[in-house]
Structure 1
Amino acid sequence: MLRMHTPQTSPPTVTWRTHLSLALLALVYIFSFIDRQVLSILLEPIKQEFGASDTQMGLLTGLAFGLIYALLGIPVGRMADTQNRRNIVAVCCGVWSLATAACGFATQYWHMLAARMSVAVGEAGGMAPSISIVSDSYPPRMRSFAISLFMMGPNLGTLLGLVIGGMVAQYYGWRAVFLAFGIPGVILAVLVYFFVKEPVRGAYEAPKTKPVANAAREPMLKQVFRLLGMKALRNICLACGMAGIAGYGYGVWAPSFFIRIHGMSISHAGLVFGIASGSGAVVGAMFCGWLSDKLTQRDSRWQLRLAAIGSFCAVPAALGVFFWPVSDFWMLGSIKVPVAMVFALMFGFFGAWFATLSYSAISQLVGAGERSVAAAVLNLFITLLGVGVGPLVTGMLSDYFAKTHGTEGLRLALSGVSMMFLLTVLFFALAIKPYKQRLQQMQSASA
């Protein structure tokens, strides 16, 4: 049973220990995305060794991971709303890191499929508890920026995974990449267990918005459907699901696009694309979190307005990546840099806005006792639709268009999937009004 929080005699303070916890949790999230996304730079050599099709590789990078992650995410998130969240994150980090290392020992396609599903089992318990910890560690006026720092995980993870993964694969083979990233993750799990602070739930919330005593007794499905009954939360989840299809389809297959269409090597594509997209996304995540904290003090609707603006701007950036002439490039020393990488940087910058702002918005829509579950519900949409469907559909479309357009099939598939960001804009627009109304209701209830 979740106990009622006893009001503190003095407000909590943000200390160096708070920032250390945030840094370690962000590092865990970075490693989770390295372990999740590094496969994108390894698609070509794994595909050749196992004799797989683009559809099979899309299944390996998408649905095999996304389905398991989505099914386990909500139960683990519910557990995190009643149990020690720090311990859950530490155990899950150790599990997925060991599973990542196991990918390096796969000798058949089905071995790799089973190992990737095991990675999903561990990662299902990393994100939602971490968001809950960060939300309870910082006051609302600092929360969007704190979450934006945490949400740099996917961006830095993608950058490091592509750059380092591409180099390791080029010189030591693709199997060594999984070992290089899996083993340090186990060490990180130990650091989380000993050094991350478990904050008081709802420490910065008004008394009436703190954990409810009978929240843990509510049936899980009833709780999920009740949360989805909030129009604002439901539309945010749908917006992120559509963005996930476009974003994960892009993130997984873009390196292969540069290898096939631009004739790059694995290390070359990983280095150039990783730096361009990763650095753009890191700056974009920090910028939108900072800007949101500034603008929402005047009008709470800017939380979702900015998410819609970023998603809209991501569309022309993606088209620039795929259709800018291959013949246009710069030489930085001996490194060939396609002009298309400018658009990859722009896509990274604007494409990072939707997730950062949405997780922060979700944390504002519910009380402290439901933040892990609410984050897990949002994860369900992003993971099942984004991770599960995005890479698979992109691979299927690539195989389909390849029948008539050859290697150009991947270009057409990626450009088509990127259009899903337009639906993201629509759903964010539908969420803006009910989002403000929900915040007003919560403020009135706590008065």
Structure 2
Amino acid sequence: MKQYKWELLVLLWLAFFLNQADRQIFSVVLPLIRRDLSLTDAELGLIASALVWTYGLLVPIAGFVGDRWSRRNILSFCLLFWSVATLFTGFCTTLLQFVLLRGIATGGGEAFYAPSANALLGDNYRQNRSFALSIHQTAVYFGIILSGLAAGYIGEHYGWQKAFYLFGSFGIVLAVVFFSRIPKDVPNVSLIRQSSALTEISQTARTIVRKPTVVLLTLGFGCMVFVNVGYLTWMPSFLVDRFSMSLTDAGFSSLFYHHLGAFLGVLSGAKIADHYAKTNPKSRLIVQALGLLLGAPFIYWMGQASSQTTTYTALFLFGIFRGWYDSNIVASLYEVVAPSVRSSAYGLMLACAFLIGATSPYLLGLLKPTLGLAAGLSSLSGFYVLGGLLIGLAAWVFFGPDRQAVSDADYPVNGQPQIPVTHDDLA
């Protein structure tokens, strides 16, 4: 069992690595695509936003599917789907093709990954859930950093199309390995046999949104996503324009320092939260709120710094506190929702947050010719402050009443309660 748990974590880490790497390639080679295809900044921002909009619309469906069907099968097929879409993005020559393949197809495939993956990890790592989920989260940072370096180099030397071919091919191979190595899990048969999917979605959604803590966590997550997708889309171009850097150097530097800090932050944040949550479960939310509030000044500094050294320092410290927030995204939510609907709850949370944050790349691209990227990126700091205040409110006012009375110990690994639980019981 222990060996399986580690193999599961490794394969999920690799899948999440490609999930993030495939998403980031476009932002790194964006200057080359703009030059070759003569697309405007607003059109490039629209392509980036299309992926996030698609992700946000489909991820709640992915969450409900993850509570009802084999998560192994869901993860294998969605990895294969988005990897094929990534590979074929290299053949795009028009705005519409990019929106369809890079935005809708890639975003749609990736939407089905996180709810099932996190639920599968949550079921298998009960005693050290934050730590396991944080290890999984580090794949985000490695995926973004290495894709920035590799895509920038490949784009400069061999053409931007080759970057999409390479990462898409890796994903197809990993999908085959994943399907062959991970045993098929047993789906939640009782949920499959219930009423129609739309009825189940609405019932579960009503159960979840009755909790103010979940609503405020979701709004705080939306603020973080707004900052993150805007930063990821435009920071490589900002360094190219501001410091006349090569695409390879800008792709690496814009992502490495921030995600190095985030890697350290997510591990330290998880340890801090796990330690204090033993006696005070709201500590997970407090760590998240502090991460956003303490990270806000460095986002402002990131856009206003006049040298590469100060920009990299700001990116690193922004990353440290972003990691504190990331370390408890899932663990905080799981404190206030029952295991039987965790995948669904996380899917809804992702949907709302990504729909909130989806407009960031488009707005920054639209404002770039007048406001400038420096001012636009610095203004993102206000969203971190707002998010921190919302999560702080959830921790101090609503967390206690919303927390579930039933502990994880009352549920077996497959997520089925030992005693009948109705939607009213979960409210």
Q: Does 1:442 align with 2:413?
A: no
Matches within 5 A, 1:218-367: 218-326=199-307, 329=308, 338-367=309-338
**Deviation of 1:94 (Å):** 0.3
Residue 410 of structure 1: which of 368, 373, 377 is its match? Answer: 373
Residues 1:420 and 2:383 are matched in the alignment: yes
Give the total of aligned pairs: 407
Return the alpha-carbon distance in structure 2 between the equivalents of residues 83 and 221 of structure 1.
Answer: 18
| Counterpart selection for 2:367 from 388, 391, 397 | 397
Greater mean alpha carbon deviation, residues 71-80 or residues 236-245: 71-80
Cα distance per residue 1:338-381 (max 9 Å; x no partner): 33111111112211332331211122322222111111111112
Q: CA deviation at 1:252?
A: 1.3
CA distance in structure 2 between the partners assigned to 1:199 and 1:212 by the alignment:
15
Query: Which of 108, 131, 141 does residue 121 from structure 1 map onto?
Result: 108
Q: Does 1:33 align with 2:4?
A: no
The one-letter code matched in structure 1 to 2:311 is A
* Shift, 1:223, TM fit: 1.8
Using the alignment, how far apart are the partners of 1:25 and 1:445 within structure 2?
Answer: 25
Cα distance in 2 for partners of 1:412, 1:367 equals 42
How far is 1:229 from its partner?
A: 1.7
| Partners of 2:269 and 2:325 within 8 A in 1 | no
The answer to whether the 8 A contact 1:240-1:355 is kept is: no
Which amino acid letter does the alignment assign opposite residue 395 of structure 1?
G
Does residue 71 of the first structure (1) align with residue 42 of the second (2)? no
Of the structure 1 ranges 26-35 and 46-55, higher mean CA displacement relative to structure 2 is found in: 46-55
Cα pair 1:136 1:201 within 8 Å, conserved: no
Distance in 2 (alpha carbons) for counterparts of 1:397 and 1:225: 38
Change (3 A) 1:95 1:243: same
CA contact (8 A) 1:201 1:368 kept: no
Distance verdict in 2 for CA 1:122–1:431, change over 3 Å: same
Change (3 A) 1:366 1:216: farther
Aligned to 2:424: none
User: What's 2:348 paired with?
Assistant: 377
Shift in Å, 1:213: 9.1
Q: How does 1:32-111 map to 2 (within 5 A)?
A: 32-62=19-49, 64-111=50-97
Letter in 1 for 2:55: Y
Aligned-residue RMSD, C-alpha: 2.3
- C-alpha distance in structure 2 between counterparts of 1:277 and 1:350, whole Å: 10
Give the counterpart letter for 2:75 in structure 1.
Answer: V
Flag structure 2 segments of 5+ consecutive residues without an equivalent: 411-418, 420-427
Deviation at 1:444, TM superposition (A): 12
Q: Which residue of 2 aligns with 1:167?
A: 153
Give the TM-score normalised by the residue count of structure 1. 0.86
Q: Aligned pair in 2 of structure 1 residues 436, 304: CA closer, same or farther (>3 Å)? A: same
| Separation in structure 2 between the aligned mates of residue 444 and residue 359 of structure 1, nearest angstrom | 15
The separation in 1 between residues aligned to 2:60 and 2:296, in whole angstroms, is 31
Cα drift, residue 226 of structure 1: 2.4
Which one-letter code corresponds to 1:179 in the other structure? Answer: Y
TM-score normalised to structure 2 length: 0.90
Alpha-carbon contact 2:281-2:335 (below 8 Å) kept:
no
Opposite residue 242 of structure 2, the aligned amino acid is: I
Displacement after TM superposition at 1:38 (Å) = 1.6
Report Cα offsets for 1:114-133 as digits up to 9, x if no partner.
11111012111111100110
Measured at CA, do residues 444 and 347 of structure 1 come closer, stay the same or move farther in structure 2, by a change above 3 Å?
closer
Q: Distance in 2 between matches of 1:318 and 1:349?
A: 12
Shift of 1:85: 0.3
| Compared CA separation, residues 171 and 201, structure 1 to 2 (3 A) | same
**Percent of matched pairs sharing the same residue:** 25
Secondary structure of residue in 1 paired with 2:380: helix
The 1:41–1:419 alpha-carbon spacing in structure 2 relative to 1, beyond 3 Å, is same
